[in-house]
């Protein structure tokens, strides 16, 4: 797959590296430092390169949107026409000081994004785990019980593509339905962040749900 990374920070840098190491073609874009993009590409391997957001979009099948909420309009403006693309968003609609969700309950960041990029298929994924756990999960990708990763979207074909990427990253995809389910994923992520950054176990946390046979008392 050809994947354009829009926002090459903690999430975009690591996920882009993981996708490249899983065999995908990756273009890292949108950083204040071109040198950083070049370095990320160099470390990710031969199938990765650095580019502008427009170059990241040009041949991409999938775009990963990984910027702060207050940079979404800017990166989309720089990206140009994204119609026909699958946009995976891990971007949370956080306030400028990163303390609270500024979209919630009746909408979600993913749904608001979808309104901005009509013609593209938005899938919400990867945003519900901290960046600190990504390499640990990828490095353990052959384990029998990988962590789950919640994802949702309205386009089934786009979701299948993203489910493959989730598997490539070492997680087991957990489909929670239409894009409006991001209204529940995004606040859940705040809980995961609390565990990661305020809990005793350190920031490299992921999650796994368990399904049991229902039993009588
Ligand atoms: N970090 C996490 O663990 C985590 C977990 C779940 C969801 N998320 C969400 O994922 C999204 C990305 O988070 P992140 O932690 O990866 O953010 P980040 O590390 O700050 O990365 C954001 C990227 O945007 C770039 N950028 C910012 N301002 C720019 C500008 N004016 N011009 C060009 N590039 C600019 C940054 O450039 P530089 O390279 O120059 O810094 C960086 O590459 C956010 O919406 C966040 O809420 C994050």
Q: How far apart are the C-alpha atoms of 148 and 79, rounded to whole Å?
A: 31
> What single-letter DSSP state applies at residue 84?
T
Of 34, 67, 109, 149, the one to substitute when testing ligand 1's pocket (max ligand atoms within 8 A of C-beta) is: 67
Expressed in angstroms and rounded, the spacing between residue 71 Cα and the centre of ligand 1 is 9
Of all protein residues, whose CA lies closest to atom 10 belonging to ligand 1?
91
Instruction: Say if ligand 1 is within 6 A of residue 11 CB.
Output: yes
pLDDT given at position 127: 98
What distances in angstroms separate CA 181 from CA 13, 154, 176, one per listed residue? 26, 10, 6
State the pTM of this model: 0.98
pLDDT given at position 10: 98
Of all protein residues, whose CA lies closest to atom 7 belonging to ligand 1?
127
Expressed in angstroms and rounded, the spacing between residue 177 Cα and the centre of ligand 1 is 26
Expressed in angstroms and rounded, the spacing between residue 70 Cα and the centre of ligand 1 is 10
Expressed in angstroms and rounded, the spacing between residue 212 Cα and the centre of ligand 1 is 38
pLDDT tens for the chain, 217 residues long, are: 999 999 999 999 999 999 999 999 999 999 999 999 999 999 999 999 999 999 999 989 999 999 999 999 999 999 999 999 999 999 999 999 999 999 999 999 999 999 999 999 999 999 999 999 999 999 999 999 999 999 999 999 999 999 999 999 999 999 999 999 999 999 999 999 999 999 999 999 999 999 999 999 9
CATH of 2-198, picked from 3.40.50.720, 3.30.565.10, 3.30.70.20, 3.90.1150.10, is 3.40.50.720
| Cα torsion through 138, 182, 118, 61, rounded to 10 | 10
174 in helix, strand or coil? Answer: strand
- What's phi and psi for 50, nearest 5 deg? -100, 150
């Amino acid at each position: 797959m050809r994947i354009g990374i829009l926002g090459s920070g903690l999430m975009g840098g690591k996920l882009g590296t993981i996708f490249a190491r899983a065999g995908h073609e990756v273009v890292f874009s949108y950083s204040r430092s071109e040198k950083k993009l070049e370095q990320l590409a160099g470390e990710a391997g031969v199938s990765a390169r650095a580019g502008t957001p427009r170059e990241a979009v040009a041949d991409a099948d999938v775009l990963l949107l990984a910027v702060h909420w207050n940079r979404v309009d800017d990166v989309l403006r720089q990206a140009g026409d994204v119609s026909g693309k699958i946009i995976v968003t891990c971007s949370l609609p956080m306030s400028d000081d990163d303390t609270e969700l500024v979209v919630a309950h009746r909408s979600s960041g993913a749904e608001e994004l979808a309104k901005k990029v009509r013609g593209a298929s938005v899938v919400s994924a990867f945003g519900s785990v901290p960046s600190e756990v990504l390499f640990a999960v990828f490095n353990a990708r052959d384990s029998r019980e990988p962590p789950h990763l919640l994802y949702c979207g309205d386009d089934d074909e786009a979701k299948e593509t993203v489910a493959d990427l989730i598997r490539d990253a070492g997680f087991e995809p957990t489909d929670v339905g239409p894009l409006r389910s991001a209204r529940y994923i995004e606040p859940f992520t705040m809980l995961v962040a609390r565990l990661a950054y305020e809990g005793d176990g350190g920031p490299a946390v992921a999650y796994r749900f368990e399904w049991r046979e229902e039993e009588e008392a």
